[in-house]
Structure 1
Amino acid sequence: MKRLILSAAAGILLSGCSGRQSVLAPAGADSTSLLTLFWVMLVGLVVIWLLVNGMMLFFHHLSPRHYDEGIARKLIVGGGIVFPTVVIAALLAWGLSMMPDQRAPGSGLRVEVMGEQWWWRVAYLPEGADAPVISANEIRLPVGQRTTFQLSSAEVIHSFWIPALGGKMDMFPGRETILTLEPTQPGTFRGQCAEFCGASHALMAFEVVTMEPDDFAAWLEEQAAPAVAPDGAAATRGAIVFAEQGCGACHAVRGTPAVGQVGPDLTHVGSRLSIGAGILAPTAENFAAWIDHTGDLKPEVDMPAYDDLPEADLTALATYLEGLK
């Protein structure tokens, strides 16, 4: 029974050592450095722990006899003070030497991210671009290039964190903080707000996609283009419902009269990997559930639930949003 309990506990602990939101599965230059720092620090501390506690065990339990005062003093000073101090100082100096690399400037692309309650406003500013490319709740980055994040918050303190790519950075109202990250391999990862920010803090996530530079450039060009109206009678009806319900007062769909800036930009929302800031897949059924039960899915969110829409209009609106690729 004891072995079974230990095996189950080990399985639970090890299950958190991999995956797309694990610091132990790095996919960036910064996260790799941080993981190396963690392991080296851990080894150093284990060595100190073994030495100090080993001395206590030996002299107090295994060989409890009288020792020469001079020898005892050397053991206490050398093993209990000098050795730990030297090891910790060396680890500290080595750790501090890594900090300049963690703050290295970006190589061209800038991404502005503002934490809202509870979603992420995102704007890409490529070098030489005339205007930013607006998105929300998803971040895409080129592999092998260091991107600069300009972080801020609208109302409360948030913390921007992509564990697989690097460390976290707090976001403050009225103040801009800077973070740079360099992905080293393509993949899909998960970011998360790491600072308690209100009722839906745990539901404030975002998808992160790292892409080869050419693929990223093509994707960014597509994102800069206006929305293409989806085909089909249901989607056409959904665009009318979108306008009639005043959705454009809060949301923007470039290429249409909808120019709202209160909520997330929906120009290409159907092409994103999630809706509701990382909580639902972008299917028509989930769009309908989000519109109909917004506050139930994300407590205290500002968007009201449109639970009085006729079923046909709700389905049409969800179909329209899913078709915005």
Structure 2
Amino acid sequence: MSPAGPQAARVFELGQLFFWTCSAVLVLVVLATLWALWRAPKADARTPAPGNVPPEPGRRRAVNVALGLSIVGLLLLIAASVFTDRALARLPLQGAVHIELIGHQWWWEARYDDPDPSRVFTTANELHIPVGRPVILTLKGQDVIHSLWLPNLGGKKDLIPGRTATLTLQADRPGTYRGQCAEFCGLQHAWMALLVVAQDPVGFDAWAEAQRQPASAPTDALRLRGQAVFMGSTCAMCHAIQGTDANGNQAPALTHVGSRRTLGAGRMPNDAQRLAAWITNPQDFKPGTNMPAHAFSQDDLQALVAYLQGLK
């Protein structure tokens, strides 16, 4: 109900038109029903059977008028839907940011494209976009059907395995906007959120340039031990950290995981205590997730969390 971009504003205006039109129809139907009940004669022996009541010219005219108004109203709503769809397709695309967004059970993979392959980078569960520039999302489903819904910024579009869809949007003001998978995709469908952070162009460029950099090498003993724990466990088989030998592609990339706001695709805030609990047993928070439990010693767990929290 608070559009922050031209696409969402068009959808909001169409929704308002439908709401008030249908509300007016509802009021008229209720009033007509009450009026008919008030005028209905009380049944007695002299009242003819319903089948024997001759049609009244006034009643027939009322039915025709109601039918005509209904047809006109429906045609107007159809026309409004068509014009809104056309308006959504007319967003200028010069200088657009291109992002490939892939839906997994139950997280989002975001790949920021660039004509220069060396400037392409991947992140997860959090989109950053520049204010005032169009964004073209190329949508793909990795396993089952998902659906991306960003109510403050645009419409809703399905991610179907084997098909590619696109969704165009733009943010007109800075802010953090909640997105959500809107198609039931399994046990943890409700915990498949996507945060969209709209920044001023300068802030976005700085964020993107930082994301292109490899993970910062640990310099203190605790984080060095944490890196060794990560590389020596199954973590490196599923996750990728740019600048290290961890190149897994079955789980979210962790190159700059310490700078993300949430864990588990919006399941909980990203802090040291919750990260440790998540690593120890993610099934406590998202039953059915593919990440297994880990029985690290307390010292190793503390070092691992310190290493991951420092990836910013």
TM-score (norm: length of structure 2): 0.90
**C-alpha root-mean-square deviation of aligned residues, in Å?**
2.0
CA shift for structure 1 position 301? 1.2
The code of the aligned residue for 1:199 comes to L
CA shift for structure 1 position 62? 5.1
Alignment partner, residue 31 of structure 1? 8
Count residues with an aligned counterpart. Answer: 300
Relative distance call for 1:146 and 1:127 in structure 2 (3 A) is: farther
Query: How far, CA to CA, are the matches of 1:31 and 1:178 in structure 2?
Result: 16
Query: How far, CA to CA, are the matches of 1:170 and 1:159 in structure 2?
Result: 4
Q: Which has the larger radius of gyration?
A: 2
Relative distance call for 1:251 and 1:285 in structure 2 (3 A) is: same
Relative distance call for 1:125 and 1:296 in structure 2 (3 A) is: same
Relative distance call for 1:104 and 1:296 in structure 2 (3 A) is: farther
Q: Please tell me whether residue 318 in structure 1 is matched to residue 295 in structure 2.
A: no
CA shift for structure 1 position 56? 2.9
**Secondary structure class of the residue paired with 2:2:** coil
CA shift for structure 1 position 177? 0.9
The code of the aligned residue for 2:21 comes to G
How far does the alpha carbon of each residue in 1:261-292 deviate from its partner, in whole angstroms, 9 at most, with x for none?
11111000001111111112221111111100
Query: How far, CA to CA, are the matches of 2:135 and 2:217 in structure 1?
Result: 32
Q: Please tell me whether residue 157 in structure 1 is matched to residue 134 in structure 2.
A: no
How far does the alpha carbon of each residue in 1:136-185 deviate from its partner, in whole angstroms, 9 at most, with x for none?
11111111111111011111111111121111111111111111111111
Alignment partner, residue 9 of structure 1? none
Alignment partner, residue 75 of structure 1? 62
Query: How far, CA to CA, are the matches of 2:62 and 2:256 in structure 1?
Result: 68
**Secondary structure class of the residue paired with 2:262:** coil
**Secondary structure class of the residue paired with 1:196:** coil
Kindly report which structure 2 residues correspond to 1:105-254, keeping only aligned pairs within 5 A, or say none: 106-107=93-94, 108-126=96-114, 130-254=118-242
How far does the alpha carbon of each residue in 1:219-274 deviate from its partner, in whole angstroms, 9 at most, with x for none?
11111111112443221211111111142221111111111111111000001111
Relative distance call for 1:64 and 1:186 in structure 2 (3 A) is: farther
Alignment partner, residue 21 of structure 2? 44
Whether the 8 Å contact between 1:274 and 1:281 is mirrored in structure 2 is: yes
Alignment partner, residue 48 of structure 2? none
Query: How far, CA to CA, are the matches of 1:161 and 1:104 in structure 2?
Result: 20
Relative distance call for 1:186 and 1:129 in structure 2 (3 A) is: farther
Whether the 8 Å contact between 1:44 and 1:88 is mirrored in structure 2 is: no
**Secondary structure class of the residue paired with 1:324:** coil
Match of 2:34 among 57, 72, 92: 57
Alignment partner, residue 86 of structure 2? 100
The code of the aligned residue for 1:239 comes to Q
Whether the 8 Å contact between 2:3 and 2:153 is mirrored in structure 1 is: yes
Whether the 8 Å contact between 1:119 and 1:276 is mirrored in structure 2 is: yes
How far does the alpha carbon of each residue in 1:48-91 deviate from its partner, in whole angstroms, 9 at most, with x for none?
2222332332243157699992222111110x201121122112
Alignment partner, residue 274 of structure 1? 262
Residue ranges of structure 1 left out of the alignment (5+ in a row): 1-23
How far does the alpha carbon of each residue in 1:85-143 deviate from its partner, in whole angstroms, 9 at most, with x for none?
11221122022111022234644211101111111111011466654211011111111
Percent same amino acid among aligned pairs? Answer: 39
Match of 2:253 among 265, 268, 271: 265
**Secondary structure class of the residue paired with 2:304:** helix
Whether the 8 Å contact between 2:119 and 2:212 is mirrored in structure 1 is: no
Whether the 8 Å contact between 2:112 and 2:120 is mirrored in structure 1 is: yes
**Secondary structure class of the residue paired with 1:140:** strand
The code of the aligned residue for 2:135 comes to T
